[in-house]
Amino acid sequence: MLLIGLTGSIATGKSTVSSLLSQPPYSLPVIDADLLARQVVEPGTPGYKAIVSYFGPSTPDLLLPSGDGMPDLGPQGHGRPLNRPALGRRVFGDDEQRKRDRKVLNGIVHPAVRRAMFKAVVGSYLRGCRAVVLDVPLLFESSLDRFCGTVVVVAVRDPKVQMERLRRRDPHLSVEDAQNRVGSQGDVREKARRCEARGEGRGVVVWNDGGREELAGEVRRVMGEIERCSPRWWSWLLWACPPAAAALAVWGFWRNVRINRAWEEQELRERAKL
Ligand SMILES: CC(C)(COP(=O)(O)OP(=O)(O)OC[C@H]1O[C@@H](n2cnc3c(N)ncnc32)[C@H](O)[C@@H]1O)[C@@H](O)C(=O)NCCC(=O)NCCS
Ligand SMILES: Nc1ncnc2c1ncn2[C@@H]1O[C@H](COP(=O)(O)OP(=O)(O)OP(=O)(O)O)[C@@H](O)[C@H]1O
């Protein structure tokens, strides 16, 4: 089964692309890390308890306010849901305190997301899916790209397009909040270069500066490239022969580790030149 890692930066169009991939003619199952990241911090979960215990004392508005149909102990009696914009203000930004807090939050949420994702991938394999899309905003940062046969980065060339789309979609964010969110993620153009460095068919970039029609065309183009490098008959063959699939997965992981090392070394050399 081909693991397609889908990533980008905030508001560059990952969800729009994953929705296209989940529909005909592709009809691929999509495992959405953002959705899992919400499920693993629902009231009553270990993630929720850890967040409340760490951030609660210093964040008075960490939970949604009670009243107006929201009971003191939350709808299910396990506590009131997290006030996500308030938590976002604590962790998104470039200053040292926010970086530290983001690290703590990631340390709580990411391991739980990885476990949920692993279960979903195994479920897709057992159902006989030939490919599955892992929609993960922080694919490179969390090193999940090492497990993916192909990485697709959804990117925009013009940072203004990204900011406009973010502000239009999330009008509740102030300019500063929006800038903090964009700044909390790596530059999407760098992710695009890193993706292309994986080689043909293993790393493809969907450019999304234009309209929706153009985006659909870009998706057709990159899916054609992926299909050429990883044909359907190959996926079925691997599904029918699990030991070969396992051996190939180990080899693919090792190859991706080497690609990442080469990328990091090249980045260090580039920075040393500056
Ligand atoms: C801080 C939280 C509560 C803010 O929630 P909110 O609903 O306002 O935003 P949402 O979750 O939709 O995130 C919006 C976008 O911000 C970016 N983002 C989210 N978390 C992070 C992070 N830790 N670092 C950098 N960017 C992030 C992603 O592009 C995401 O798509 C939430 O983002 C969170 O719990 N983040 C930590 C978990 C995480 O890393 N999730 C990303 C997928 S695993
Ligand atoms: N080609 C396009 N033309 C016009 N609007 C677009 C285009 N692509 C995406 N959008 C819009 O831009 C906004 C951001 O897109 P989307 O939600 O898909 O991004 P995302 O990368 O998934 O964001 P996030 O990381 O925050 O979840 C949405 O409102 C979406 O409808």
In the chain, which residues have pLDDT < 70? none
Is residue 242 lining ligand 1, measured as CB closer than 6 Å? no
Same domain, 122 and 226: no
Instruction: Give the model's pLDDT for residue 189.
Output: 95
Give the residue, out of 7, 9, 10, with the most ligand 1 atoms within 8 A of its beta carbon, to mutate for a pocket test. Answer: 10
Given 105, 128, 151, the domain boundary residue is 128
Q: What is the CATH number of the domain that holds 217?
A: 3.40.50.300
Of all protein residues, the one whose alpha carbon is nearest to atom 15 of ligand 2 is 13
Is residue 21 lining ligand 2, measured as CB closer than 6 Å? no
Give the residue, out of 6, 10, 16, with the most ligand 2 atoms within 8 A of its beta carbon, to mutate for a pocket test. Answer: 16
Same domain, 252 and 181: yes
Instruction: Give the model's pLDDT for residue 145.
Output: 95
Same domain, 96 and 154: no
Same domain, 141 and 121: no
Given 128, 155, 174, the domain boundary residue is 128
Is residue 16 lining ligand 2, measured as CB closer than 6 Å? yes
Domain count, the chain: 2
Instruction: Give the model's pLDDT for residue 220.
Output: 96
Instruction: Give the model's pLDDT for residue 236.
Output: 79
Is residue 165 lining ligand 2, measured as CB closer than 6 Å? yes
Q: ipTM of this model?
A: 0.87
| C-alpha 125 – ligand 1 centre gap (Å) | 27
Instruction: Give the model's pLDDT for residue 270.
Output: 82
Instruction: Give the model's pLDDT for residue 53.
Output: 97
Instruction: Give the model's pLDDT for residue 239.
Output: 80
Is residue 179 lining ligand 2, measured as CB closer than 6 Å? no
Residues spanned by the domain of 62: 38-128
Tell me if 155 sits within 8 A of 188, measured CB to CB.
Answer: yes
- Predicted TM-score of the model (pTM): 0.87
Same domain, 103 and 209: no
User: Per residue in 254-273, pLDDT tens?
Assistant: 999 999 999 999 888 888 87
